[in-house]
Amino acid sequence: MILFRKFLIGSSLTLTGFFAGSLLERRRKESCKETLPGLFDAVYAATPVSVPDIASQKGVTSSRVSQIMKYGFPGFDQIRSFDDYVLSYDRRNRVAHWVFEHLTADLVKHNPDVDRAKCDFKPDDTIHPFFRSENSDYKHSGFDRGHLAAAGNHKSIQKHCEDTFFLSNMAPQVGSGFNRDAWNKLEKYVRKLTKKYINVYCCTGPLYLPRKENDGKTYVKYQVIGNNSVAVPTHFFKVVVCERSDGKLEMEAYVMPNQVINNETSLNMFQVPPETIERAAGLLFFSQVNRKALVSINGKSV
């Protein structure tokens, strides 16, 4: 606990969802309530607990935080952990912030017992109804329910494949010319990397990129569809880290516009420096890997 306190002594506390997590875990040890309605609610429930040992020397006491946040935190990132992929949900846009997959040759092998046709697109009931996308949002919208974690990456077990059909894993994608073509080609390419590399880590997500307009100003603009105002991303990204048999790592990063793309366009036309995606998405990819230690980024030595 000393370490923990030391750690928080600073000019101010930069807490992350962490804070609630720690509180929750402590509450867990102190209380015997077994009927917490769900982890998401529980994080809220955790906030009023006063934690006298999270104290800074500069006047930020946990009790003050508890006072301010007495009636609950308005929001935290909601992270969903499925059997074979992990997802962070953007409640404002009703589309994931990112999904993360770990692929190997064995994991992506198509087990003939697994039938994609038996998988139904279904709303994700773990998302609060205010923020949940529904099949009706997509109906007549002109957009596909495009997978972020690709169904084709999860065909070794039926449940894995079904898990990719939650609407929390979907984003409105242009169908013909994108989801069913260029984007699909990128998904297949990533899957095929497992033939060359022992481990492939893939992060996929939406982008809402700014654009300069005629008035000289720069705007972010994107359509929203359905009663639940599901955001239509302007672009999508994939950032991939591949582990070679010698343990060395290579990175590739792609951005594709959510538009009809000429089928002849080669995939490497969509490669971008990973930092570009990080800045635009508000994310940091593979932060455990020193980027200078990578063998290559987009095929070029680092």
d(CA 149, CA 95): 12
* Helix, strand or coil, per DSSP, at residue 177: helix
Closer to a copy of itself by CB, 158 or 271: give it: 158
Q: Could you tell me the smallest distance in angstroms from the CB atom of residue 158 to a copy of itself?
A: 12
- Is 214 among the annotated ligand-binding positions? no
The total of other beta-carbon atoms located within 10 Å of residue 230's CB is: 24
Q: Which candidate in 97, 147, 154, 235 is catalytic?
A: 147
* Helix, strand or coil, per DSSP, at residue 172: strand
Catalytic residue list contains 160: no
d(CA 282, CA 18): 18
Here the tokens at position 221 are 């603009």
Closer to a copy of itself by CB, 13 or 297: give it: 13
Q: Could you tell me the smallest distance in angstroms from the CB atom of residue 62 to a copy of itself?
A: 9
Q: Could you tell me the smallest distance in angstroms from the CB atom of residue 302 to a copy of itself?
A: 16
d(CA 9, CA 247): 38
Closer to a copy of itself by CB, 99 or 256: give it: 99
Closer to a copy of itself by CB, 88 or 185: give it: 88
Helix axes 39-46, 18-30, angle to 10 degrees: 90
Q: Could you tell me the smallest distance in angstroms from the CB atom of residue 265 to a copy of itself?
A: 27
Q: Could you tell me the smallest distance in angstroms from the CB atom of residue 133 to a copy of itself?
A: 12
Cβ contacts of 204 within 8 Å, gap of 6 or more: 98, 99, 101, 148, 149, 236, 237, 238
Closer to a copy of itself by CB, 72 or 299: give it: 72
Per DSSP, 55 falls in state: B
Sign of CA dihedral 106, 111, 117, 118: negative
Q: By C-alpha distance, which of 81, 84, 80 is closest to 106?
A: 84
Q: Could you list the residues known to form a binding site for Mg(2+), using ranges.
A: 179
Residue numbers annotated as active site: 147
